[in-house]
Structure formats: structure tokens, C-alpha cells
Structure 1
Amino acid sequence: MKKVKTASFLALLLAFCIQGTAFKADGYKVGDEVQDFSLKGIDGKMVSLSGQKEVKGYIIAFTCNTCPVAKTYEDRIIALNAKYAAKGYPVIAIQPNDVNASPGDSFQAMQQRAKSKGYTFPYLSDETQNITKAFGATNTPHMFVVRKEGEKFKVAYIGAIDNNQGDPQAASQKYVENAVNELLAGKTAVTTPSARAVGCGIKWKNA
């Protein structure tokens, strides 16, 4: 019965979402240096990678309020920040969708969602979508782990959080956690540097 329910749940998600098939050709690749950015958070303050001098890196989540897959991973993103922020890898969440195409991802809706879920990390709006394009994010959620080298940040991991959308306890591969753990252990390259991100396609502005 549990397997049937899980299969039905995944089928429902896929009915609402578009699977990502590849990273954008012009986006960051593993090993690339990430250019710093400045985006407005739900508290009205501007946030940048260089804003926290004590960090060892970041877990960057391109996510949103409306995607069913993003919602299933929301608690896992919250848990990642709870587990790794104090260890030097805090979460930064970025909402990439065009709000005209997805009104449920408006700035006000972002504020309401973050408050209702008790976000303890910055939730930023990429209104121009320039940062999303620079990273090459295609889906929500789409994860990037970046590690700090001197004053630079380099991409160490790109892709999915884990390999089970429906049940976090059933995930046999926790890609983001494994990557951060290896970086904290002193590795400069992680064992699994990428895994296909599966979720709703980002809602792009009309050209």
C-alpha cells in the first residue's frame, strides 16, 4: 500500500512539474569561480556571498513557493541550514521565477511562506533572473554547493538534494549532505559533484 501511495504521489508531482534534463550550457560548472551577487531578501536587506566573512562556503538553493517538488524538499532545505550553518555552510535560498507568470512567488508571498515555515536563512528574490542564468539553474529546487577559497567561491556540487522526492528517509543518496561533509573533512573535490536536478522548470520572463 505504501508503494502504491508513493507511486501516486510521484505521478501527481510529475503532472505539475517538468523534469530538468541538463544544466544550462552557459551556466557554472563544477570548479568554476562564482561571481559575487547582491540580491534583496524578504527583510528588505541586500545579501551577498561576501557578506559573511566567517563562512567556509554556502548551500545555495534555487527554490520557490509554488512548485510541488520544491514544497516536498522545503523541510530538507530547512534541515540543511540547521545542520550546516554553524559548521560554516549556511543556506541561501533564491526565488528565480518570473512573478508575472507565477504570482504565488511574489515578494509578499515569499515573506508569508518564510514566516509560516520559520526560515532561518536568507530568502532572496532574483527579479531580473540574471543570477539564476549565471548559475545555470533550470529547476526548482536546483542546488549549488560552493566552497570558499581565500576571497573566492568555487562550485563544488550542482544538482539534486537527494535521490528520493517523496520520502527523505528512503533516500539512499544525500548528495548535498555528502558534498558538504566531504568539504568539511578537507576534500577539495567531492565524490559525486553533480546529480540531475528534477523539479518544476523555472518560469522565465518573456524575451
Structure 2
Amino acid sequence: MRKPYYFLLVLSVLTLFTAYRFADTGYQVGDTASDFKLKNVNGQMVSLKDQKEAKGFIVTFTCNTCPYAKLYEDRLIQLHQKYAPKGYPVIAINPNDATASPGDSFAEMQQRAKSKKFPFVYLHDESQEIAKRYGATRTPHLYILTRNGQDLKVSYIGAIDDNSGDPEKVQKRYAEAALDNLLSGKAVPQPTTKAIGCTIKWRNNS
């Protein structure tokens, strides 16, 4: 009588583990982020180590199709324009599987970058390996990395601000507060927030 119960218990645990397989994995604040090499919309391969002059990076997992991601595009442009000259450029990465979301294909990325005149790189995480490594689950999902010697330390993870729908009603600019403190040599007051956006479109075999 116990065998069926035990089987169901194990099956339930495995199901929960599968459903949340990225929730407890990926980088945490204070971790060292490893480098990657991904294709930019201009066809060139981009890695973080090649940008030796950067003090850090605003790594943002985003996409073409998510309404939340679209709402934050102009704010990402503003973040790049404000902080890239200070050493923190935006590194935008599209992790969505194009089979599950055709509007997120590389060709569509190129069109989106052109139409929005992105001043930052827009990289294609075709294998979804980098999104999994970071532990990203949403678009947008933002990670601020800070250079510490030869390492890149994760200093902030989460949302860009507290109002996805209306930039005029933003009360807390989480990313800007983190960056301003880092540039002043201070600790980030709120190093983690909840990312608000669409779930990443994973491959069926992920």
C-alpha cells in the first residue's frame, strides 16, 4: 500500500523541482560572474572581458515581444546614456527561444534594434545557457556587475524601477540607486528586488 503513495510523493517532488529548476539557481549578490561570448545584432561576437575600460555592466535579459520589455526599452536607453560614460554600459541579452516565440528571432532582434536605435549591444542567447547561468526568469531581469580586480561581482539583481507601466509615476529607481552608490564607493542599499515581466520562453527540452 505504501508503494503507490511513495511513487506519487517522488513524482510530486520531481514535478516541483522541474517547475522551479531555475528559481534557486543562478547568481546571487556577491557572486563572481563568468564571462560569455554572444552574437550582437551587427553580427559581431561580444564578450565582457574585451571591454577592459568598463567599471562594470548593466546586464539586462530582455526581448522583442514582452509588453514589459517594450515598456522598459526607453528606460534602458536612458540608463545606457547616463551610465555608459561613467563606466557601466548596458548589455542587453535576448534569451527567448525563437521556436516558442518567433518574434524573438535574431532577424527580428536586428529589426527591433534598428527601429529603436539601441545605443547598446543586443545579444542573442540562442542556447539559453547564459540566462540559466545567471538564473534569469523574466524579461526584463537586470543584473549589475562591478569590476573587482580581474573579477566581475554581482552587485544588484532585480527590477529597473517600481513602475513598469508609467515611467512618470516611478517612485523608486532601483538600478539608478544601485549604480549611484557603486560609483560613490558605497554599498548598494537594496541589492535585490523582484523582477517584473514576462517569463522567459524556454525550449521544450530545457
**So what's the TM-score if we normalise by structure 1?**
0.88
Q: Is the aligned partner of 1:122 residue 2:110?
A: no
In the TM superposition, what is the alpha-carbon distance from 1:46 to its structure 2 partner?
0.8
C-alpha deviation, 1:26, in angstroms: 1.2
- Give the aligned partner of residue 76 of structure 2: 77
Query: Deviation per CA, 1:107-157, whole angstroms, max 9, x where unpaired?
Result: 010000000001011100000000000000000000000000111101000
CA RMSD, Structure 1 to Structure 2 (Å): 1.3
1:206 aligns with 204
Larger Rg: 2
- What are the residue-to-residue correspondences of 1:64-143 with 2, within 5 Å? 64-143=63-142
Q: Percent identity?
A: 59
Instruction: Please list every run of at least 4 consecutive aligned residues from structure 1 whose deviation after the TM superposition is greater than 6 angstroms.
Output: none
Q: Show the counterpart of 2:171.
A: 172
- Structure 1 CA distance for aligned equivalents of residues 79 and 132 of structure 2: 24
Structure ranking higher on relative contact order (CA contacts 8 Å, 6+ apart): 1
What's the counterpart of residue 195 of structure 1? 193
Q: Distance in 1 between matches of 2:168 and 2:55?
A: 28
Gaps of at least 5 residues in structure 2 are 1-19
Q: Residue 162 of structure 1 aligns with which residue? A: 161
Q: 1:48: which partner in 2?
A: 47
Secondary structure, counterpart of 1:195 in structure 2: coil
Q: 1:24, CA displacement in angstroms?
A: 2.3
User: TM-score of the superposition, structure 2-length normalised?
Assistant: 0.88
Aligned residues: 186
One-letter amino acid of the structure 2 residue matched with residue 204 of structure 1: W
